[in-house]
Chain A
Amino acid sequence: MRLRGIFFSLSERQSMNAHTHSTDDRCENTDDRRELQMARSMCWHCQSEMAGEYFCDRCVKVQPVSKDLDYFTCFGLPRRLALDPQTLETKFYELSRAFHPDFYQNKSDAEQTISLGNSAMLNTAYRTLRDPIQRAEYLLDLEAGSVKDIRTTPPADLFEEILDLQDTLDEFRASERASEHASTLRTKLHADRAVLEQRQRDMEAQLQQLFSRWDALQDRAEVTEQARVERGRILKDMRDILSNRTYVKNIVNDLVATIA
């Protein structure tokens, strides 16, 4: 690896967290996102007015994707949680053909840098939108400006079960693997795993419902106070379930790794 001192702006996230990381997270919840995009609309190369999306109409040079462009807009998709994977993939392949460094080998350094930055951003955008959970987390971030809410204690309705499970896990780790005791514990852990996995599926089903409600609300595009409150409630519910689900998923992963 060579570490270079050159700076290069892909997307700068003005994160307020001192030591937190984000994989190319972008977009603040600014209402004037559109305007920002407009303000940028001058070709970096020939300075002409930019009408085209990613390429200058006049000199055909590739343009850096604006850091204020959200992933949905980047793919030309409405900000909805139901998303056709086929459409997303097609668009991803199309944009990959437009941005990939392979096609910029004979171009100027500036264009190669833009191609690299745009491709990296595109790959992150695709990875985020492709997965329904990450997509929802991203949407929450856009809509409610929230960084993921990381749970450190079990969700209330699972409190007892999870504390029990953790005891069993500790006991299992300390036990002689071949012993009868370990085998009893293992059976119990398998049962716990099934319960938790079912629980995870339930939460995913609940999320699905919330996603549909959200999309329907967005489709209606009402500006009433009632709609605003409803949106706020859906987002809050989504956030709660998402963080509970992540918590349970981590426990399951830990469990699987321990009994493997």
Chain B
Amino acid sequence: MSRIVGIDLGTTNSLVAYMDHGIPRVISARDERAMVPSVVSLTDNGLIVGDPAKEHLTRNPERTVYSVKRFMGKSLADVQGELAYFPYTLTEKGGVIRIQLGEKSYSPPQISAMILKELKLRAEAFLGESITKAVITVPAYFNDSQRQATKDAGMIAGLEVLRIINEPTAASLAYGLQEKTQGTIAVYDLGGGTFDISILKLKNGIFEVLATNGDTHLGGDDFDQQIADLFLAEIRAQYGLDLSTHPDHMQAVRLEAERTKIRLSSELKTTASLDLPDGKGRFTRELTRDQLDGLCTALVERTLGPCRLALNDSGLAPGDIDEVGLVGGSTRMPLVRQRVRTLFGKQPHCELNPDEVVALGAAVQADILSGGTTDMLLLDVTPLSLGIETMGGVMSSLIRRNTTIPASAKEMFTTYVDGQTGVDIHILQGERELAKDNRSLARFRLKVPPLPAGVPRIEVTFLIDANGILNVMAKDMRTGETQSIEVKPSYGLSDQEVERMIEDSFKFAADDVSARKLIEARLDAGALIITTEKSLADGGHLVSAEEADTIRAAVATLTTAKDGTDPRAIRARMADLEQAAKGLTVAMLDDSLKQGLQGKKVSEVTQE
């Protein structure tokens, strides 16, 4: 089976990891962080992703998309309240948000697919093979539409998404692998845009999730916003400047707010500084950690409610938790650590890098799926109750939240009027009484043969699979016939739309010849670097020290070229490297021929 990678598709940062002989490792492009900022920018040279795109946040704010994860599986109405904060233009088509970039508009799964493609390329360059399968993580509290949107993003990126797995549970796999822990653990995951809490029981390699809860709209971005709002208000008061009419400056404020927040995780006080437009000079402001805590307390408090609910649902008290694991960049904030410590009454764990642990866990899950790891098994739950709308607009729950998945429920439907030929079914997700207060997942019409009222009996099976995604099947109990159900998801792309986006993504790539050339050159260069390094390690002793140094220098030059954007330069440096390594290649070939002959003798001897 071909290799499956694990991907953490984060609001702020994304990573890809793989399993290296039983140890999960994140993949980084050389000399770079493993983290790829989840930012996509449309520049004059086409679409770019990651660190280079991040630079365009202030240069080109209207054409630079960040935090796209907030929009996955959402309608415009869902995010109305925060639209003002985003410099790029959002519209809606068919219940799905579209992001305007230049002439074209893209759905959030398409933007996410660009990030996934970048990770795919990195993995391919590093591993020297083509990657087509992945496990992708999502916040545990993601609903069905958000999970489906993530799966669509994978497909658009040319990845078969073998499993959608929850971020905190993925983290627990990485933790569990390291510590071989037994007992009850809580994983507290606070990233840039989402918060999750999961309570698990670990026993003999089984990771059983007892309960999960969270908030898909709470994270470091919100802390940044608090600080930014403070700066903006003061700039208005002191300089009479309204920066909201300057998208580039708005982004600069947001970024400086984030940097200030991060510095205050290790310092007690710091100074923020911003260039102002219209020749108004610089705005500087000192901020102390106490002041930051004051700005963020209410937000951090908001994470505690879900923690209590999760404890309650798992029938546990804070004292029953043996270990608390921290995940996500925002758990570096001292205030967050302190509140978590108080709630659970114990020092939380943070041995594993909170930025990487989710991707590492995804790689472990990938290895389980490919049959490599066989002693571990994750039993996850569905975060939200699933039900249907019944008479009077009430939600009737079919599968309760925190039910272990896969989970199924059946419901029998009949008619109320003679000759009725259809029953409308409205599927919902959420915890509220009334249908209208819950998330609408889909509506569909069940076809019924025209018979007297109450005679038809159609059994509908609702099955939540191991990805936490719903599948619906129907069967006529009288005839035993199965029925094909045509539905339109309330918030999501239809199968046809996904198909078209996959085609488009190939088409765009083909159109954009130079981008394609760059990608290929980078891939080839990555493979060449890896083989050369392997040759140096295995056969470096066969050539002189000077020759080895020349090869190393050529590797370094190629590496730099590879990180650049000129495919021709990369090809040229590849040729240089091949030339420099010629002697080594020949020497190794000779050596292996010799070894081969010797080897033969040895085996002949042993055979006697």
Contact = CB atoms under 8 A, between A and B. Distances in A.
Interface in A19-74: 19-24
Interface string B190-207: 000000000000011010
Nearest to A115: B406
Contact of A116 (B413, B463, B474): B463
Interface stretch (B35-43, B223-231, B479-487, B598-606): B479-487
B460 to A, nearest CB: 9
A45 B144 CA distance: 34
A106 interface: yes
B369 interface: yes
Given A5-B484, A23-B398, A123-B404, A13 B413 contact: no
Interface stretch (B113-121, B257-265, B370-378): B370-378
Interface string A199-234: 000000000000000000000000000000000000
A111 to B, nearest CB: 14
Interface in A81-126: 93, 96-97, 100-103, 105-106, 116-117, 119-121, 123-124, 126
Given A1-B441, A5-B482, A105-B369, A18 B409 contact: no
A100 B444 contact: no
B591 interface: no
Contacts of B407: 120, 123-124
B404 A93 contact: no
By size class, the interface of chain B is 35 or more
B396 A2 contact: no
Given A15-B412, A23-B409, A4 B471 contact: yes
A24 B377 contact: no
A257 to B, nearest CB: 10
Contacts of A102: 163, 365, 368-369, 377-378, 466
Contacts of A103: 371, 374, 377
A254 to B, nearest CB: 11
Nearest to A21: B411
A3 interface: yes
Interface in B146-195: 148, 162-163
B246 interface: no
A3 B471 contact: yes
B379 interface: yes
A149 interface: no
B595 to A, nearest CB: 36
Interface in B368-407: 368-371, 374, 377-379, 396, 398-399, 403-407
A217 B147 CA distance: 50
Contacts of B461: 8, 10
Nearest to B427: A1
B413 A19 contact: yes
Nearest to B201: A89
Contacts of A120: 406-408, 463
A93 B398 CA distance: 24
Contact of A101 (B370, B398, B465): B465
Given A19-B414, A102-B377, A116-B463, A3 B487 contact: yes
A17 interface: yes
Contacts of A2: 148, 469, 471, 489, 495
Nearest to B133: A105
Given A3-B472, A7-B473, A102-B466, A96 B377 contact: yes
B162 A105 contact: yes
B145 interface: yes
Contact of A126 (B144, B206, B404, B466): B404
A6 interface: yes
A3 B465 CA distance: 12
B442 interface: yes
A120 B206 CA distance: 17
Contacts of B1: 106
Nearest to B366: A105
B108 interface: no
A4 to B, nearest CB: 6
A116 B406 contact: yes
Nearest to B480: A7
Interface in A136-162: none
A177 interface: no
A124 B148 CA distance: 24
Nearest to A20: B412
Contacts of A117: 408
18 contacts: A1-B427, A1-B442, A2-B469, A2-B495, A3-B487, A4-B471, A4-B472, A6-B482, A12-B477, A15-B412, A21-B396, A21-B398, A21-B410, A22-B409, A93-B203, A102-B377, A106-B370, A123-B403
Given A3-B470, A19-B413, A103-B374, 9 more contacts: A1-B442, A4-B472, A6-B482, A7-B473, A10-B461, A15-B412, A21-B409, A119-B466, A123-B404
Interface of A: 1-15, 17-24, 93, 96-97, 100-103, 105-106, 116-117, 119-121, 123-124, 126-127
List the 8 closest pairs (A to B, CB-CB), nearest first: A5-B484, A7-B482, A120-B408, A3-B472, A120-B406, A123-B404, A18-B414, A21-B411
